[in-house]
Amino acid sequence: DIQMTQSPSSLSASVGDRVTITCRASQGISNYLAWFQQKPGKAPKSLIYAASSLQSGVPSKFSGSGSGTDFTLTISSLQPEDLATYYCQQYKSYPLTFGGGTKVEIK
């Protein structure tokens, strides 16, 4: 199985800050990586696929990068509505696996 490790597990940032979340795969997955946002009490929402392709309707303040084993999700200017837990997920091979999540809080 491909293990996905996210860091940090939580972070606190101010409105307007640039926030970066890291995801590392235990083996190379090319760019078969997706990012999701899960707000409290809600279902996950697709943000990014193919490591850097923005899902339709997602604000351009979200961006993704990386290939191989190391990936990042960046929020260019944090807003109160971005309070959520963010998950990465690899879809290079079965079983499909998720990272443990990064909880983003607003200072």
Partner 1 sequence: QLQLQESGPGLVKPSETLSLTCTVSGGSISSSSYYWAWIRQPPGKGLEWIGIIYYGGTTYYNPSLKSRVTISVDTSKNQFSLKVTSVTAADTAVYYCARRLLAAAPPGHWYFDLWGRGTLVTVSS
Q: Which residues bind partner 1 (CB under 8 A)?
A: 1, 31-32, 34, 36, 42-46, 49-50, 53, 55, 87, 89, 91, 94-101
Between 49 and 62, whose beta carbon lies closer to partner 1?
49
User: Whose Cβ is closer to partner 1: residue 19's or residue 90's?
Assistant: 90
3-state secondary structure 14-63: CCCCCEEEEEEECCCCCCCEEEEEECCCCCCEEEEECCCEECCCCCCCEE
Q: How many angstroms separate the CA atoms of 31 and 78, rounded?
A: 25
Which residue's CB is nearer to partner 1, number 16 or number 95?
95
- Residue 87 CB, shortest distance to partner 1, in Å, is 6
Count each helix (H run) and each strand (E run) in the chain, helices first: 0, 11
Q: How far is the CB of 19 from partner 1 (least distance, A)?
A: 19
